[in-house]
Amino acid sequence: MNFDFSDDLKQLRDQARRFLSERCPPTVVRRSLDGQEKFAADLWREIADMGWIGAAIPEEFGGAGLGYEGLCVLAEEMGRAVAPVPFGSTAYLAAEAILTAGSDAQQREYLPKIADGSLIGCFAMDEGAGNPDPAAIHARVVGGRLSGTKWPVADGTVADFAVVVACDEHRQPGLFLADLKDVSKRALRTLDPTRDQARLEFNGTPVQRLESSGWGSVQRVLDRAAILFAFEQVGGADACLAMAKEYALERYAFGRPIGSFQAIKHKLADVYVALELARSNAYYGAWALGTDASDLPLAAATLRVSATEAFHLASKENIQTHGGIGFTWAVDCHLFYRRSKQLGVAIGSLPFWQERLADLLETRNAA
């Protein structure tokens, strides 16, 4: 058994961690938080040049061909750095939709430009409150033109194109490619300003349908993205635990480090446990993604549940461990707390994935 990343990928992870700690410190994240920039464009350029965006894109389409395990390793580091870039929208969602559902021509048209950073993508599914649901899709494509409103769309105001979930003439949901140049966009104020969110107004926008479509193809994109987002969640949770631990060692109360109190130790032990379970489930997801395993949907739902729970727990207990200082704007705890919620509701929140996991288990156990 070799249930671990290879030495090469561990090296990639260490390089990515060093690079991001240097080029994406909290000061960079805070430029987005404070509204000075929509995303870290310089950082985006650099990670494109290093081949990260196209990590899992095959070399024939201009990707780095590092495979999904490579993309997973990078995702963990992006999560650790709370990176304010449209990485997930572009690499986990838009590129994946095109890779899994696009025609050869669509792949040749889009993937090389995604990989080199010249095209930013987004995934436009939601239409207001609620979780992923074919019945909730009202956007419609008639005669190759899309009409409807999508919100929130992560990275929607900075993206060049969207993969849109919309219904066709027969009211069947599917995936469509839309150029966003002439689409009306409204930037949304959200609880995580380090990520761009938009409301997109499509009004007869010309679109092309991705070759293989239907709700199954939407769910397939969500399943695969869940695995990659889980690595971001694991990275974020790990950063929270490290922060909390460091603070608990330095902060004294009642004449001793607060990390010597069992109330703090047991709290952080529980965070560690949740994080390790999520990490182990995520590793299995990485394997399932890399091998396109038949139980990928079950693996994805499982890790989505544990990664969402783990990052939520880690980010809130990090604030709690810090006490009052953790509630200030100046200390970075809230960057993770915000991002944990943003990642936790992107592509469907905990109740949605718990329900999906129960569905898959019910089907499996009936078989």
Partner 1 sequence: MDFNDTKEEAAFRARARSFLQANAEPKSGSRPVLRQSGVDAEAVKRCKAWQAKKADAGFAALTWPKRFGGQELSPIFQVIYNQEEDDFVVPRGLYEIGLGMCIPTMMAYAKPEQLERYVPKAVRGEEVWCQLFSEPAGGSDLAALRTRAERDGDDWVINGQKIWTSGAHLSDYGIIVVRTDPNVPKHEGLTFFFLDMKSPGIEIRPIHQMSGARHFNEVFFTDVRVPDSQRLGAVGQGWRVSITTLMNERLAVGDVQRPDVDDLIELSRHVKLDGKPAIRNSAVRQKIASWYAQSQGLKFTRFRTITALSRGETPGPENSIHKLVNASKLQDIASYGIDLMGDAGLVMDDDLTEAYGMFQAALLSSPSGRIAGGSDEILRNIIAERVLGLPADIRADKGIPFNKVPTGKR
DSSP for 255-320, written as a single string: TEEGGGSHHHHHHHHHHHHHHHHHHHHHHHHHHHHHHT-TTHHHHHHHHHHHHHHHHHHHHHHHHH
* CA-to-CA dists, residue 16 to 117, 234, 244, 286, 315, angstroms: 17, 15, 22, 18, 22
Residues numbered 250 to 289 that lie near partner 1 (CB under 8 A) are 256-257, 259-262, 264-266, 268-270, 272-273, 276-278, 280-281, 283-284, 286-287
Q: What are the CB-based long-range contacts (under 8 Å, 24+) for 353-357?
A: 353/226, 353/301, 353/304, 353/305, 353/308, 354/305, 356/297, 356/301, 357/298, 357/301, 357/302, 357/304, 357/305
Q: Does 234 bind partner 1 (CB under 8 A)?
A: no
Convert residues 116-155 into a mask of x (bound to partner 1 by CB under 8 A) and - (unbound).
----------------------------------------
**CB-wise, 78 or 241, nearer to partner 1?**
241
Residues numbered 172 to 211 that lie near partner 1 (CB under 8 A) are none
Q: Evaluate the CA torsion angle 279, 280, 283, 284 in order and state its sign.
A: negative
119's CB contacts (< 8 A; 6+ apart) are 90, 110, 113, 160, 161
Shortest reach from residue 232's CB to partner 1, in Å: 17
Closest CA to 174 of 139, 226, 131: 139
b/e 115-139 (16+ beta carbons within 10 angstroms → b) = bebebbbbbbbbbeeebbeeeebeb
Shortest reach from residue 279's CB to partner 1, in Å: 8
Shortest reach from residue 324's CB to partner 1, in Å: 21
Binding residues with partner 1: total (CB under 8 A): 50
β-strand partners of 161: 121, 179
**CB-wise, 105 or 242, nearer to partner 1?**
242
357's CB contacts (< 8 A; 6+ apart) are 298, 301, 302, 304, 305
**CB-wise, 180 or 264, nearer to partner 1?**
264
88's CB contacts (< 8 A; 6+ apart) are 75, 78, 154, 225, 228, 229, 232, 346
Judged by CB under 8 A, the stretch of 18-26, 43-51, 133-141, 359-367 that binds partner 1 is 359-367
Binder to partner 1 among 105, 142, 325, 358 (CB under 8 A)?
358
Residues numbered 56 to 75 that lie near partner 1 (CB under 8 A) are 69
Judged by CB under 8 A, the stretch of 112-120, 128-136, 232-240, 244-252 that binds partner 1 is 244-252
**CB-wise, 176 or 283, nearer to partner 1?**
283
| The two structure tokens encoding residue 143 | 């005669």
Residues numbered 286 to 315 that lie near partner 1 (CB under 8 A) are 286-287, 290, 301-303, 305-306, 309
Shortest reach from residue 305's CB to partner 1, in Å: 4
Shortest reach from residue 341's CB to partner 1, in Å: 19
Shortest reach from residue 199's CB to partner 1, in Å: 30
**CB-wise, 175 or 288, nearer to partner 1?**
288
CB atoms within 10 A of CB 293: 14
Shortest reach from residue 331's CB to partner 1, in Å: 20
**CB-wise, 82 or 303, nearer to partner 1?**
303
Q: Site residues (CB under 8 A) for partner 1?
A: 1-5, 69, 241, 245, 248-249, 256-257, 259-262, 264-266, 268-270, 272-273, 276-278, 280-281, 283-284, 286-287, 290, 301-303, 305-306, 309, 351, 353-355, 357-358, 361-362, 365-366
